[in-house]
Amino acid sequence: MTQYYRIQPEPDQYMYFALDTYDFLNKLGEEFELSDFGKPMLHAWQPVKGKFYPKVGNATKIPDITTWQTDLLVLNQKACDILRDALQSLGELLPVEVASDTYYLFNVLERLADDVIDTNNSEYEYHATEEKPVGFKVLNFNVDKVPQEKFLFCVQNDFAYNIYCDDRFVNIINENGLGGLIFNTTLIDPYFK
């Protein structure tokens, strides 16, 4: 049976990535909004600035691969070279300037329909003041609704637009020694644990 994972950054060892939103707005603000990620952008993309910073503890290592927000991957050149062919049918690589290096945002264009969520075996999270769900306590997928060729994807509406993957992606990362990610088998944001 296929194992699915929620992709998240590894904060104990690796620094976090931040996109310079002012640079984004200055260069691309007439064409795009930050909420446009998940839609094709490569046709008008201009490299924008980003940086790495420690968020917790003494994390000082710059990752080979991490996330920005929750639904974009950030890859250094090594990770990009390794993953480019595997990722090309699932989204687009957008260059980002980090100091004097080029990194790449992987804009996941593969957004699966909500019926991929197994609602019979998933449980919503509610805040005391909210009538609508705000997340998942338990999340499971309808395995037969996930296309076999989609080893990395987002779900159209999972409250935080996370990136999910299966064992094939995890194996590529591990076999090539790419550091910076955690693969969460519970599929949910740690906030809701």
Domain annotation covers residue 176: yes
Helix 77-87 / helix 167-175 crossing angle, nearest 10 deg: 150
Bigger pLDDT: 22 or 137?
22
For residues 106-111, average pLDDT: 91
For residues 67-74, average pLDDT: 92
Task: Say if CB 16 and CB 9 are below 8 A apart.
Answer: yes
Percent of residues in the chain assigned helix, strand, coil, to nearest 5: 25, 35, 40
User: What confidence tier does 192 reach under pLDDT thresholds 50, 70, 90?
Assistant: very low
Count of domains for the chain: 1
Domain annotation covers residue 126: no
Domain annotation covers residue 28: yes
pLDDT digits over 26-51, tens only?
Answer: 999 999 998 899 899 999 999 999 99
Instruction: Using alpha carbons, list the distances in angstroms from residue 39 to 81, 108, 109, 166.
Output: 23, 8, 6, 22
> What's the chain's average pLDDT?
90
Sheet holding 4-9, edge to edge: 111-112, 152-155, 164-166, 4-9, 181-184
Domain annotation covers residue 167: yes
Distance separating alpha carbons of residues 13 and 165, to the nearest angstrom:
22
- Provide the residue range defining the domain that includes 170: 4-114+137-192
Where does 29-92 have alpha helices with state H? Answer: 77-87
pLDDT digits over 116-162, tens only?
Answer: 999 899 888 887 787 888 778 888 899 899 998 899 999 887 766 78
- Residue 160: the pLDDT is 62
- Residue 193: the pLDDT is 46
Domain annotation covers residue 89: yes
Q: What is the rounded end-to-end Cα distance, in angstroms, of the chain?
A: 24
Which residues are CB-contacts of 144 (< 8 A; sequence separation ≥ 6)? none
What is this structure's pTM? 0.90
Domain annotation covers residue 132: no
Within the chain, how many helices (H) and strands (E) appear? 3, 13
Which residues are CB-contacts of 118 (< 8 A; sequence separation ≥ 6)? 140, 141, 142
Domain annotation covers residue 148: yes
Domain annotation covers residue 124: no
Closest CA to 164 of 117, 132, 96, 119: 117
Bigger pLDDT: 56 or 83?
83
* CA max distance for the chain: 49
